Amino acid sequence: VRVSAKAVYSKYNLQPASCVNFGAIIKGTKKTQVIMLENKGMLHFKFRIHQAPKDAQALQRKRYEKPCPTLSPLSELFLQGHLSLGVFTVSPCSGSIAPWGQQKITVECFTGQEGPFEETIYFDILCR
């Protein structure tokens, strides 16, 4: 009897990889940018976008608690299909991507007031 297996893991790519910079925006206007999330692996995966905690160490602990978590019930915020973070709106904030597929993530910035604005988000890539 011949037995074989091939171990694989989720692979993904984000473009842009680090910073989405809207630059200067006229007060009271909206500007949109796109983040592309690509599935570069052989496994179907789910993703979920969260606001990063202010404590970076808490983020690291959360990331390594469960190497392959499952999706918990979605809050009303996620059921609306977007995540609101101050002047920024991210959508969709959750979904699934087939192998070699991709998903456009839209980030909108609507400035109703003057000043600099910054938020940090992170992506959970979840096993099927």
Query: Taking 50 as the threshold, does the pLDDT of residue 52 lie above it?
Result: yes
Question: Is-above-0.85 flag for pTM?
Answer: no
What is the Cα–Cα distance from 35 to 19, expressed in whole angstroms? 10
- CB neighbour list of residue 44: distance below 8 Å, 6 or more residues apart: 96, 97, 98, 99, 128
Tokens 């839209």 appear where?
106
Domains, the chain, in order of start with CATH, read 25-53+74-127 (2.60.40.10)
Looking at residue 58, its pLDDT comes to: 55
Greatest mean pLDDT among 11-25, 40-54, 97-111 lies in 97-111
Give 100's pLDDT tier (boundaries 50, 70, 90): very high
pLDDT tens-digit map of 21-46: 998 999 999 999 999 999 998 889 99
